[in-house]
Structure 1
Amino acid sequence: MDENADLLNDATSIWQDVVLTWGEAALAALPRFGFAIVVLAVAALLIWGVKATTRRVARRMNLRRNLTDVILLLVSVIGWFLALLMAVTIVFPTVTPSNALTTLGLGSVAIGFAFKDTFENFLAGILILMREPFEIGDHIHCEEVEGQVEQITIRDTHIRQTDGQLVVVPNAHLFHNPVQVRTNREFRRTSIICGVAYGEDVDEARGVIAEAVRHVDSVRDDVRDIQVFAKAFGASSIDFEITWWTGSAPVDIRSSRDQVVAAIKRALDDAGIEIPFPYRTLTVNDPIEVKSVKAESDAA
């Protein structure tokens, strides 16, 4: 019993010494903790001021809202990183900035390998927002995706296809592949092929087609004049290529083609110019023997 009591007393004294040591260390570190809190408070004020200034500058420069958000995020991350690094070195004097940066560097390498695709999309999103190759509302085409840009985030871009489906495309995909911005300008050129019969006068047909297209409301001949060229000898027609300028949105293209096709058909009909059906001519080299039904019945 006496030995157990001695062991219990020794353990109790050891714990008391440990708690006393921790308490003395905590009391000694209180000023450092207070100073670290002051540093964090000052850092918060500085970050708030820098972000407010950044918002005003971005507003004057007419930067995109998403790009402004990215800049503000980077300001916050860098500011709080430096503030926390300074606070840690104040509270724990044995931790030097170089040691902390070395540890963070090794950790960032591991995190970088684990989240490679995420960081790639993040950096691609920043570059897309800074370069502004396309904007919200533009119609774009990349690989098998085509539609209207609805939102550009740090990681991905939301594209609404013409059939109503929403496609979320990683920014790295848009950054590494060619992107066709169909609405980069207000007007875009489009074309169709129209054929007339071989017996018709080519110059007359060209003039009728050009005059018909020129009077279509959706055709912007004030931007550039329409062009009608005889393109090729088709299977049963002389083919004309008709090009003109109209609105750049996909619905503008489809609507204008509808109006132009109807106008050309109407004008050619009024002028008596034939739009031929496909013809097929059969040539027989050897004579064909023809027997009448009466001869066959008599022979029977």
Structure 2
Amino acid sequence: MPYADILREQVDAMSHALIAAIPGIAIAICVLLLTWLVSRAAVRITSRITNRTSLRQDLRQLSETLVRLGIWLIGLMIAAAIVMPGLTPASLVAGLGIGAVAIGFAFQDIFENFLAGVLIMLREKMQIGDAVEVDGILGKVERITLRETHIRQFSNELTILPNSTIFKNPVKILTDAPIRRNEIVVGVSYDTDLAKAESTIRKALDRLSSIEQQRGIDIYAQEFNSSSIDFLVRWWTDTGKNDFLGVKSEVVFTVKQALDDAGIEIPFPYVTHTFKDDVPVSLPAANAA
């Protein structure tokens, strides 16, 4: 059998087909180049329009991404129709439907993060600049994309979380409201006049301008501890004006000074830890180990 002739005929046919397709390929490349230019121009126009509105930054990014994606889909479909003239819109849609199933299984995580990113950008809560805590990560949201969210931890490490993780897990937004409550536990000795201790703590905190006085200060005798009676002290502070942890430090300093001035003891915790001659001996907690 003339295998060489058959092979030569096949190569000739493929070369002729390739030569015949070169004009279409060249036009398709021009279409893709034009698509790239149109996409850039459309994104710039979209950016100018959204910058004049009150849209959040993440929604602006979403608008630009969707515009770019839509233009590229149209450009790719036109280029494919030019390269393959027999490709009709019906066959293209059918092919996309079959391919979508295969691609969906292969890139399930990617599409999951993509859809989660769209939903995260559409909801009002958790914007860029918010301090959040999610999945054990505490920090400030720096960027939200369609695939991932960048969170800058307060220790300055950058953590990149998949959007599906943020969408599926509870998210604590620390900066949703500027006025936040904080608390400390203050222990006083058992021989203390509790009413006097409560009054001393309240008077000391009433003088602090960093506390939202109109919201009130809560002081509760909470429990009988091993070496003290514990008060739970709660207050509110405006984090837009004051440092959250700084106010807590100021409260601790102020309460300690006020109790010292009033002669009220803050006892050192004792732990019944060891035995001597079968008699329990209480040791300070610092020496208990």
Partner Cα separation in structure 2 for residue 280 and residue 132 of structure 1? 50
- Are 2:194 and 1:202 aligned? yes
- Are 2:151 and 1:159 aligned? yes
2:211 is matched with: 219
Partner Cα separation in structure 2 for residue 107 and residue 70 of structure 1? 25
- Are 2:180 and 1:188 aligned? yes
Partner Cα separation in structure 1 for residue 269 and residue 35 of structure 2? 80
- Are 2:255 and 1:264 aligned? yes
- TM-score normalised by structure 2 residue count: 0.75
Q: Does the 8 Å contact 1:182/1:248 carry over to 2?
A: no
Q: Which amino acid aligns with 1:110?
A: A
| Distance change >3 Å, CA 164–CA 268, structure 1 → 2 | same
Q: Which amino acid aligns with 1:159?
A: I
1:109 Cα deviation after fit: 2.1
Q: Does the 8 Å contact 1:188/1:246 carry over to 2?
A: yes
1:64 is matched with: 56
Partner Cα separation in structure 2 for residue 65 and residue 276 of structure 1? 52
Partner Cα separation in structure 1 for residue 191 and residue 150 of structure 2? 53
**Residue 160 of structure 1: SS of its match in structure 2?**
strand
Partner Cα separation in structure 1 for residue 190 and residue 265 of structure 2? 9
Partner Cα separation in structure 2 for residue 166 and residue 80 of structure 1? 31
Q: Which amino acid aligns with 1:124?
A: A
The structure with the largest strand share of the pair is 2
1:97 is matched with: 89
Q: Which amino acid aligns with 2:220?
A: F
| Percent identity between the two aligned chains | 41
5+ residue gaps in structure 1? 1-7, 282-287, 289-300
- TM-score normalised by structure 1 residue count: 0.73
1:50 Cα deviation after fit: 5.4
| Distance change >3 Å, CA 269–CA 65, structure 1 → 2 | closer
Q: Does the 8 Å contact 2:185/2:232 carry over to 1?
A: yes
2:127 is matched with: 135
1:68 Cα deviation after fit: 2.3
| Distance change >3 Å, CA 84–CA 247, structure 1 → 2 | same
Partner Cα separation in structure 2 for residue 161 and residue 38 of structure 1? 45
Q: Work out which of the two has the higher radius of gyration on C-alpha atoms and give 1 or 2.
A: 1
Q: Which amino acid aligns with 1:244?
A: W
2:163 is matched with: 171
Q: Does the 8 Å contact 1:139/1:147 carry over to 2?
A: yes
Q: Does the 8 Å contact 2:58/2:128 carry over to 1?
A: no
| Distance change >3 Å, CA 167–CA 44, structure 1 → 2 | closer
**Residue 191 of structure 1: SS of its match in structure 2?**
strand
1:229 is matched with: 220
2:138 is matched with: 146
5+ residue gaps in structure 2? 273-278, 280-289
Q: Does the 8 Å contact 2:58/2:127 carry over to 1?
A: no
